[in-house]
């Protein structure tokens, strides 16, 4: 019962990853294009006013989305030598405690990000006149995705003892 559920959750996780990666790539390409346009327009013509604002917004989205990918891959900084030295049952409990705290913080970030998004919904960007809701929406969105990844890690830890560890008997 637990293994098919875990397999489904891992497929959803890979699906999210498959969506986020090209979005980050497209945002990076757009950022490079916008900055190039900004440089060329400043040197050769009159500066294009909206490029600085678009570059800033793209950078915010890239930071959160790429941070989400790094989170999913376990690439954020962590001091694991002390936890790895613990016996398996204690290590498992320590990982579950860390994941529970992480999940609580991410859920708080979803709520705070959503509230901040609502507060800023009346503000428009200076050049583009776009609602700042779209800029700030990345915070609860990415916190929600990271909370999903954390939930999958909790389930993996409960089933296998550690996230990312698969029993040799499982398919």
Residue range of the domain that includes 58: 2-160
Asked if residue 170 is part of any domain, the answer here is: no
Asked if residue 103 is part of any domain, the answer here is: yes
Handedness of CA 154, 156, 159, 165 (dihedral sign): negative
Between the CA of residue 27 and those of 49, 135, 168, what are the distances in Å? 19, 13, 39
Supply the pLDDT for residue 160: 84
pLDDT in tens, the chain (171 residues): 678 888 898 899 999 999 999 999 999 999 999 999 999 999 988 888 899 999 999 999 999 999 999 999 888 777 777 888 888 888 899 999 999 999 999 999 999 999 999 998 899 999 999 999 999 999 999 999 999 999 999 999 898 876 654 444 444
Question: Among candidates 60, 22, 54, 21, which has minimal Cα distance to 35?
Answer: 54
Asked if residue 87 is part of any domain, the answer here is: yes
Counting the structural domains of the chain, the total is 1
Asked if residue 166 is part of any domain, the answer here is: no
* Entry pTM: 0.86
Asked if residue 119 is part of any domain, the answer here is: yes
Phi, psi torsion values for 77, nearest 5 degrees:
-60, 135
Question: Among candidates 89, 90, 88, 100, which has minimal Cα distance to 153?
Answer: 100
């Amino acid at each position: 019962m637990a293994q098919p559920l875990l397999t489904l959750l891992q497929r959803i996780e890979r699906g999210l990853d498959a969506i986020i990666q090209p979005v980050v790539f497209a945002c990076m390409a757009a950022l490079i294009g916008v900055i190039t346009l900004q440089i060329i327009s400043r040197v050769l013509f009159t500066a294009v006013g909206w490029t600085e604002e678009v570059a800033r917004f793209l950078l915010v989205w890239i930071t959160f989305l790429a941070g989400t990918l790094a989170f999913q891959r376990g690439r954020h900084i962590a001091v694991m030598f002390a936890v790895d030295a613990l016996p398996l049952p204690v290590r498992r409990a320590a990982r579950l405690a860390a994941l529970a705290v992480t999940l609580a913080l991410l859920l708080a970030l979803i709520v705070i990000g959503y509230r901040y998004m609502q507060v800023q919904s009346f503000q428009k960007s200076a050049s583009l006149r776009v609602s700042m809701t779209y800029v700030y929406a990345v915070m609860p969105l990415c916190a929600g995705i990271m909370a999903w990844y954390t939930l999958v890690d909790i389930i993996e830890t409960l089933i296998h003892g550690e996230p990312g560890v698969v029993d040799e008997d499982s398919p």
